[in-house]
Amino acid sequence: MTTQSSTAVLDVPIESFVADEAELAAIAFLARYSGRALDAYRHDLRNLFQWAADHSLAVLEATRTHLEMYRSSMEERGLAASTIDRRLSTACGFYRFAHIDGRISSNPAQYVRRPQVHPSEQRGLDRSELGRFLFTAERFDHAHAALAVLLGLNGLRVSEACETNIEDMAFERGHRVLRIVGKGNKPALIPLVINGGATTSEPDDHSYCRAPRTGSA
């Protein structure tokens, strides 16, 4: 049986890359994605290809039994159930499109047993914890204060907040907004809380930690 290198999938300069059927299948599957989703699927496929190479197994010749062994190997390494489930989901998608494209006769990953993923019991910050988080960030420096507001008050993901620039801020219909690239590489326009907008643009204004006045002093 032939084997494939896990590093060959979309990582070799096109002028020197001669793909076999498994690598072409990977390219066809990954071509549907972009941004962070592409990075995640590429990483999962690289793990599958490496496991197959380590066991002298041609990726497109894998059976359900082989993929059950792949799952067991991840469990033995102590990977989280959510990680194993995601990697098996990627493998299933890869083989599904390889089947659609006529490269294999059936999808060997379709009926592979998945680990049970329990919902996370972790809760978000309560009001007091959020207040301390914002106050601590304000005391650290202005950049941390702005980041804390984007995360804590505007609900951005860490990756979304870290990839934004001051040029992404704008006014729309009288509201201060932030242009971001959200999940699935989709652009979005996020309304900023009033004090959050001030924090990200005015270094000397840290009033977001204080509640707005509702009456006379």
Please compute, for residue 118, the number of CA atoms within 13 A of its CA located in the half-sphere on the CB side.
Answer: 4
Which pLDDT belongs to residue 158? 82
Q: What are phi and psi of 8, to 5 degrees?
A: -85, -20
Which pLDDT belongs to residue 122? 59
Which pLDDT belongs to residue 199? 53
Which pLDDT belongs to residue 206? 40
The Cα–Cα gap between 91 and 93 comes to 5
Domain ranges across the chain: 14-100, 127-209
Which stretches of the chain score pLDDT less than 70?
1-18, 120-123, 184, 194-217
Dig out the tokens for 94 from the structure: 């890869």
Which pLDDT belongs to residue 146? 84
Q: What is the CATH number of domain 127-209?
A: 1.10.443.10
Which pLDDT belongs to residue 212? 38
